[in-house]
Amino acid sequence: MAKPTKPRRRLEAEAARALILDATEKRLALVGPSGIRLQEVAADAGVSHPTVLHHFGSRELLVKAVIARALHHINTALVAAINASSGDEAQLEAMIENVAIALERSGHARVVMWLVLEGHRLDGAEVRLTDVVDAAHGLRLARRRGGKYPARDDTARTVVLASLALVGGAVLAPTMLENAGLSADARTPAHFRKWLTRLLLGHFDHDRN
Amino acid sequence: MAKPTKPRRRLEAEAARALILDATEKRLALVGPSGIRLQEVAADAGVSHPTVLHHFGSRELLVKAVIARALHHINTALVAAINASSGDEAQLEAMIENVAIALERSGHARVVMWLVLEGHRLDGAEVRLTDVVDAAHGLRLARRRGGKYPARDDTARTVVLASLALVGGAVLAPTMLENAGLSADARTPAHFRKWLTRLLLGHFDHDRN
DNA sequence: GGTGCCATGAACAATATTGTCAATAGCTAT
DNA sequence: ATAGCTATTGACAATATTGTTCATGGCACC
């Protein structure tokens, strides 16, 4: 009886790389950079682990590649979520909700948190908060009806606070909200974000520092 | 020549356990639960790795023990930082600063973040935000000079926001503040926290929702 | 001094994980 | 069809990590 030769699928190198990167990115959000295992990535991608090494050279290069791609995805998703809503007031709530969903459902917030915890520095080329500050400051000036002239640093701190609440919140908010005595309802985080939006807008419009 | 018999130190079991837990807790803040390695812990504690296993049974039990102790330390430090300042207004800024320092310098914020990222659930026995909410709501009612009666849920959300800013901020703020265009000065995070305090107090006193 | 308890660590075992190598098998071009 | 390129993988090697065994040595107690 002839040896039952196993069927193989042969992909274009780029297609195989993309498939492997997809599997790796899932693991990245789930267990972080240092938790990525070649065998698990390979199994998830439906290939053998030497194939992964063939396409990426080493585990370390694979991790570097997936981090670079994940950061690019995050940037793209954030820009899209921000641009999707124009700058007017009613849309601001929607924008924060868009960003929160973009960060949470994709696991991007977890990725950012893993990276920072493991010592990765997010430089300006990877994430650009200054652009968000510019947009927010423009919105704030447009909304101005008298009062003091808002300082740009104040807007920057507001953006940082919102970022902390959204990125940190995607990881911590469910635990923290419940721990603070708010109901464990699935909509509680969304309520919290709406509340946050009103707080930030209130600060924009009535800053008395 | 007689075999050069190696000197040994022999500690009380409890002293050895404490020594090993200290070394393990350092690694916990640095590399997280899943990054803890018996050899590194043992080397740091100045013992051999079988000694670690002798005292804790297995790596998993060691990690459980260090997590339990770390959470207890965190709770103690937080309660101390909160109680250290009485409830009046000028002290609130100092209290937030105390909590921030307690979370940051000890690496406790990193520990919390690692734990939540790796799926650990912080139940009420480990961290009690409700106590903080109680204290904050009391302070808020004491400060009230007319205006609507503040809702307890609103105070709870404010506490959660502060917690997100402090815990998340201990990990993310340096990166984010610089990324937002604020100076990379070492005092920038402290300035941010002062700004946050004023924002939260302003919300307590002038909530118009 | 002698004895028993047990903390300690050297040597070993077992498994997990990364990386190497060579043979195989799909795909394209001719 | 045939040849060549290379994606693919089984088998193996090397190392890391956890866990086990057992002899030893420090210490309290008699």
Instruction: Please give the mean pLDDT across all residues of chain A.
Output: 90
Would you say residue B96 lies in a domain?
A: yes
The reported pLDDT for the residue numbered B48 is 98
What count of CB pairs under 8 Å joins A to B? 152
What's the distance, Cα to Cα, between the start and end of chain B in Å?
Answer: 86
Residue at token pair 């002798």? B54
Cβ contacts of A124 within 8 Å, gap of 6 or more: A130, B179
CA distance B110 to A190: 25
Q: How far is CA A114 from CA A109, A119, A171, in A?
A: 9, 9, 11
The reported pLDDT for the residue numbered B78 is 87
Would you say residue A81 lies in a domain?
A: yes
Reported as a pLDDT band with limits 50, 70 and 90, residue B86 is low
Residue B10, CB, less than 7 Å from strand C? yes
Minimal C-alpha gap between B50 and chain A (Å) = 25
What confidence tens digit (pLDDT) does each residue in A117-155 have? 999 988 777 778 898 898 889 888 888 888 889 999 999
Cβ contacts of B204 within 8 Å, gap of 6 or more: B139, B140, B143, B150, B155, B158
Instruction: Please give the mean pLDDT across all residues of chain B.
Output: 90
What confidence tens digit (pLDDT) does each residue in B129-167 have? 898 898 889 888 888 888 889 999 999 999 999 999 999
Work out how many domains chain A is built from and give that number: 1
Percentage of chain B lying above the pLDDT 90 cut: 65
Helix (H) or strand (E) holding A159: helix A152-163
Angle B67-B74-A191 (CA atoms, 0-180°, nearest 5)?
100
In chain B, helix, strand, coil percent, each to 5?
75, 0, 25
Rg (CA), chain A: 22
Chain B residues 68-87 with CB within 8 Å of chain A: none
Query: Per-residue pLDDT for B190 more than 50?
Result: yes
Would you say residue B65 lies in a domain?
A: no
Would you say residue A56 lies in a domain?
A: no
Would you say residue A121 lies in a domain?
A: yes
Does B167 sit within 8 Å of A167, measured CB to CB?
Answer: no
Strand D bases with any atom < 7 A from protein Cβ: 6-11, 17-22, 24-27
Does B203 sit within 8 Å of A160, measured CB to CB?
Answer: no
Same domain for B74 and B46: no
Same domain for B144 and B171: yes
Same domain for B83 and B158: yes
The reported pLDDT for the residue numbered B27 is 98
Query: Per-residue pLDDT for B177 more than 50?
Result: yes
Residue at token pair 């708010």? A182
Would you say residue B75 lies in a domain?
A: yes
Domain residues for the domain of B136 are: 70-206
What confidence tens digit (pLDDT) does each residue in A53-90 have? 999 999 999 999 999 999 999 989 888 888 776 656 66
Q: Is A173 on the interface with B (CB under 8 A)?
A: yes
